[in-house]
C-alpha cells in the first residue's frame, strides 16, 4: 500500500511539473474537455489541481480509456511498455488502412488536449502550446499518466494490432563512420532547408520546439 501511495505522489508531482509549463488557456481547454464547465471561473493553479485529481483517479482513467476510439487505443497502446514515446513514433505506429498521417496527427492532438497524453516539457521561456502544426513538434516526447497506463492494461486484448514490421533487408553492410558522417550531414541539411532553426550543436532551437 505504501508503494502505491508513493507512486501516486510521484505521478502527481510529474503531472504538476508538466502542467506548469502549459499555457493557462490550454489548461482551461483540457479541463473543459475532461469535465465540461469545471474550469469556467478558476485560476490556472486551481485548474491544475482539478486536472491532477481526474488524471490520478483510477475510475476516471478506466472510463476515459473505455471511451477511446480504436485509433486512440492503438496510439496509447503503443506506450504500454514504456509509458513514454516521441510524437514521431506515434505518428508512424498509428498509420494503417483508413488512417493516414493527417488522421493520426489529429488523434494525437485530441489525446493531448484531453490530458491522456502529456507533453514532456523542457525549461524554456515560453509555454507549451498544444498544437502539432510546426515541423519540430514531432521531435517532442509525450507520456501517459500512471492511472491511464494501468487502465490500458485491462483492455490489452481489445487493442488493435500495430502494423507488422518491415521485412528484414536482404543485406546488412558493416558500419562505416564515413557513412554516418554523411548521413548526419544530409539530415542536418534537410533540417536547415525545412526552416527549423538549429543551434551550434545541431539541435532544433528551443523556440522551434513549441507544440
CATH number, residue 50: 1.10.10
For 144, 173, 192, the CA distances from 81, given in Å and listed in that order, are 11, 31, 34
In a domain, 197, yes or no: no
Instruction: Give the mean pLDDT of 97-123.
Output: 82
Q: Can you give the pLDDT at residue 211?
A: 43
**Residue 4: is its pLDDT beyond 50?**
no
φ, ψ of residue 84 in degrees (nearest 5)? -150, 140
In a domain, 10, yes or no: yes
- Give the residues across from 119 on adjacent strands: 142
Q: Are 116 and 64 in contact (CB under 8 A)?
A: yes
Q: Can you give the pLDDT at residue 164?
A: 58
Distance of CA 82 to the CA centre of its chain: 12
In a domain, 194, yes or no: no
Maximum distance among all Cα pairs of the chain, rounded to whole angstroms: 62
**Residue 108: is its pLDDT beyond 80?**
yes
Q: Can you give the pLDDT at residue 210?
A: 54
In a domain, 195, yes or no: no
In a domain, 67, yes or no: yes
Q: Which of 142-156, 177-191, 193-207 has the highest mean pLDDT?
A: 142-156
CA Rg, the chain, in Å? 19
In a domain, 176, yes or no: no
**Residue 96: is its pLDDT beyond 60?**
yes
Q: Are 54 and 147 in contact (CB under 8 A)?
A: no
Choice between 9 and 71, residue whose per-residue pLDDT is larger: 71
Q: Can you give the pLDDT at residue 113?
A: 86
**Residue 91: is its pLDDT beyond 60?**
yes
Lowest mean pLDDT among 5-9, 83-87, 138-142, 178-182: 5-9
Report the number of distinct structural domains present in the chain: 1
3-state secondary structure the chain: CHHHHHHHHHHHHHHHHHHHCECHHHHHHHHHHHCCCCCCCCCHHHHHHHHHHHHCCHHHHHHHHHCCCHHHHHHHHCCCCCCEEEHHHHHHHHCECCECHHHHHHHHHHHHHCCCCEECCCCCCCCECCCCCCHHHHHCEEECCHHHHHHHHCCHHHCCCCCCCCCCCCCCCCCCHHHHHHHHHHHHHHHHHCCCCECCCCCECHHHCCC
Domain region containing 136: 2-163
In a domain, 168, yes or no: no
In a domain, 155, yes or no: yes
What would the pLDDT profile of 14-59 be if each residue is shown by its tens digit? Answer: 898 888 888 888 888 888 888 887 766 678 888 899 888 999 999 9
* Grid cell at residue 136: 519540430
Amino acid at each position: 500500500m505504501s508503494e502505491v501511495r508513493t507512486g501516486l505522489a510521484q505521478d502527481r508531482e510529474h503531472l504538476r511539473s508538466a502542467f506548469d509549463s502549459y499555457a493557462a488557456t490550454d489548461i482551461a481547454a483540457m479541463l473543459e474537455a475532461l469535465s465540461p464547465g469545471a474550469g469556467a471561473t478558476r485560476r490556472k493553479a486551481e485548474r491544475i489541481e482539478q486536472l491532477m485529481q481526474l488524471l490520478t483517479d483510477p475510475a476516471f482513467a478506466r472510463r476515459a480509456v473505455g471511451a477511446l476510439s480504436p485509433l486512440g487505443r492503438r496510439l496509447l497502446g503503443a506506450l504500454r511498455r514504456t509509458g513514454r514515446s516521441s510524437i514521431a513514433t506515434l505518428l508512424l505506429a498509428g498509420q494503417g488502412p483508413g488512417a493516414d498521417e493527417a488522421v493520426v496527427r489529429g488523434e494525437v492532438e485530441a489525446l493531448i488536449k484531453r490530458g491522456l497524453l502529456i507533453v514532456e516539457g523542457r525549461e524554456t521561456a515560453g509555454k507549451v502550446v498544444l498544437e502539432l502544426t510546426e515541423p519540430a513538434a514531432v521531435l517532442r516526447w509525450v507520456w501517459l499518466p500512471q492511472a491511464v497506463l494501468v487502465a490500458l492494461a485491462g483492455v490489452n486484448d481489445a487493442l488493435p494490432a500495430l502494423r507488422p514490421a518491415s521485412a528484414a533487408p536482404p543485406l546488412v553492410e558493416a558500419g562505416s563512420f564515413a557513412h554516418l558522417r554523411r548521413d548526419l550531414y544530409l539530415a542536418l541539411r534537410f533540417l536547415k532547408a525545412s526552416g527549423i532553426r538549429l543551434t551550434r550543436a545541431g539541435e532544433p532551437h528551443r523556440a522551434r520546439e513549441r507544440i
